Amino acid sequence: MKQLDNMKAPFFSILSLSLLLFLSLPSPSLSERCNPTDKKVLLQIKQALGNPYLLASWNPENDCCDWYCVECDPTTNRINALTIFSGQISGQIPAAVGDLPYLETLIFRKLSNLTGHIPPAIAKLSHLKMIRLSWTNLSGPVPSFFSQLKNLTFLDLSFNDLTGSIPPSLSQLHNLGAIHLDRNKLTGSIPESFGKFTGSVPDLYLSHNQLTGPVPKSLGDLNFTTIDFSRNKLVGDLSFLFGSNKTIQIVDFSRNMFAFDLSKEQVSNRARFARNRGRNTPAVAGNGDGTALGLHRKVGEDSWGDGLTWACFN
Ligand SMILES: *[C@@H]1O[C@H](CO)[C@@H](O)[C@H](O)[C@H]1NC(C)=O
Ligand SMILES: *[C@@H]1O[C@H](CO)[C@@H](O)[C@H](O)[C@H]1NC(C)=O
Ligand SMILES: *[C@@H]1O[C@H](CO)[C@@H](O)[C@H](O)[C@H]1NC(C)=O
Ligand SMILES: *[C@@H]1O[C@H](CO)[C@@H](O)[C@H](O)[C@H]1NC(C)=O
Ligand SMILES: *[C@@H]1O[C@H](CO)[C@@H](O)[C@H](O)[C@H]1NC(C)=O
């Protein structure tokens, strides 16, 4: 017993001595949460963006979990959010963003001098839940690689200069709550596959583009909540989106070239129609005044759908 005590004593003093040494080391690593690989990548991103003032807090001397515009996961300390918003940023989205493998949120927003294409490196970010590249001057196509990011719940590419057609593969995303592709220069038609989302049925915002053709009938197979197709060049019928079966609540189909007969939809006489910008050419009957329809609110008791609270057609 005595022997054991004698052995313990020097052991503890060595332990406390090394602990003391350890605590007094000047290294920042002791309290720094930041993952060194993430820090290196963030500094590459900063450099690629020309060391903008917005990222002045990205100082290599400090813990990157304390930097502005980023967030660290509280348990793993890996960077899980990069939010670059409204600053003097010029250039392209750095490919290095693809090297932050635990990103769940990626936002570049309100940066009018952000140009170029959406980089393929984003396809590596398998944990992404929210991507928002909006109010920038990004051009090029909407990449089809977004369909690989299975955990995406929110895809916003609105207010850019994107061209080309909408990738049909976006319907392979099962957790999407909303797709915002509005205010671009997209052409082609709305994919047939947008009537085949499995899992959640996203709100669709496709307004202010140059989309053509009819809206695919397949969209009638799903219960959408919100659809905004306004200001495109869409044609044809839309009645299949309405009916007692449907839960659609908010629609805007204004400024297109739709033509359909709402009388078949038994629009209630009490439905109020306001505004008539006359851009669509609807064959309307049954709404009393024979005018083309416009804004249509709170149609609770007709057969368009029990939940419809807001609709606009012209
Ligand atoms: C965009 O770039 C132009 C020309 O270089 C510059 O004058 C302007 O201040 C920049 N705007 C922003 C928001 O960075
Ligand atoms: C895109 O750049 C042009 C000038 O090149 C500018 O006029 C426009 O405002 C920019 N777009 C956005 C969304 O800021
Ligand atoms: C996707 O989300 C699920 C549920 O939140 C999670 O278990 C899974 O790990 C996520 N996958 C990726 C690649 O982040
Ligand atoms: C849409 O919702 C209504 C009301 O909840 C339901 O009766 C109908 O079966 C649903 N249709 C589809 C295709 O899920
Ligand atoms: C209602 O929805 C079901 C599928 O959920 C469909 O088979 C049926 O034709 C629909 N009925 C009407 C009147 O739209």
Q: What is the pLDDT of residues 18-70, one digit of tens each?
A: 544 444 444 555 688 999 999 999 999 999 999 999 999 999 999 999 999 99
Least confident piece of the model among 76-80, 110-114, 199-203, 262-266: 262-266
- Work out the end-to-end distance of the chain between its first and last CA atoms, rounded to an integer number of angstroms: 94
Separation between Cα atoms, residue 234 and residue 218, nearest integer Å: 15
Q: Are 213 and 189 in contact (CB under 8 A)?
A: yes
- Among 137, 139, 156, 183, name the best residue to mutate to test ligand 2's pocket (greatest count of ligand atoms within 8 A of Cβ): 137
Question: Strands 310-312 and 295-297, how do they pair?
Answer: antiparallel
- Among 218, 245, 308, name the best residue to mutate to test ligand 4's pocket (greatest count of ligand atoms within 8 A of Cβ): 245
Rounded to whole angstroms, what are the CA distances from 25 to 19, 30, 74, 77, 307? 10, 9, 25, 22, 65
Q: Which atom of ligand 5 is nearest to the CA of 243?
A: 14
Q: Are 153 and 128 in contact (CB under 8 A)?
A: no
Residue nearest to atom 6 of ligand 2 (CA): 112
Summarised one tens digit per residue, pLDDT across range 196-240 is: 999 999 999 999 999 999 999 999 999 999 999 999 999 998 888
Centre of ligand 2 to C-alpha 99, Å, is 29
Indicate if ligand 4 lies below 6 Å from the C-beta of 245.
Answer: yes
Maximum pairwise Cα distance, the chain: 106
Q: Report pLDDT for 259.
A: 82
Give yes or no for residue 92 having a pLDDT over 50.
yes
Indicate if ligand 1 lies below 6 Å from the C-beta of 86.
Answer: no
Separation between Cα atoms, residue 167 and residue 223, nearest integer Å: 21
| Burial (0-12, 13-18, 19+ Cβ within 10 Å), 95 | middle
What is the dotted CATH code of the domain comprising 31-114?
A: 3.80.10.10
Rg (CA), the chain: 27
Give yes or no for residue 281 having a pLDDT over 50.
no
Summarised one tens digit per residue, pLDDT across range 122-134 is: 999 999 999 999 9
- Among 75, 151, 174, name the best residue to mutate to test ligand 3's pocket (greatest count of ligand atoms within 8 A of Cβ): 151
Same fold, 31-114 and 141-233: yes
Query: Which one-letter amino acid corresponds to residue 296?
Result: H
Q: Whole-prediction pTM value?
A: 0.81
Centre of ligand 1 to C-alpha 210, Å, is 28
Q: Which ligand is nearest to the CA of 104?
A: 3
User: Considering Cα of 186, then 190, then 191, then 193, what sign does the dihedral take?
Assistant: positive
Q: What average pLDDT does the structure give for the chain?
A: 81
Separation between Cα atoms, residue 270 and residue 286, nearest integer Å: 11
Q: Report pLDDT for 234.
A: 95
Give the CATH H-level superfamily of domain 141-233.
Answer: Ribonuclease Inhibitor (3.80.10.10)
Pocket of ligand 5 from Cβ distances under 6 Å: 243, 245
Give yes or no for residue 278 having a pLDDT over 70.
no
Q: What's 257-270 look like in SS3?
A: EECCCHHHHCCCCC
Q: In what order do the strands lie in the sheet with 257-258?
A: 212-214, 233-236, 257-258
Question: What residues does each domain of the chain span?
Answer: 31-114, 141-233, 237-314
- Of the two residues 19 and 73, the one the predictor is more confident about is 73
Closest CA to 141 of 162, 158, 161: 162
Indicate if ligand 3 lies below 6 Å from the C-beta of 88.
Answer: no
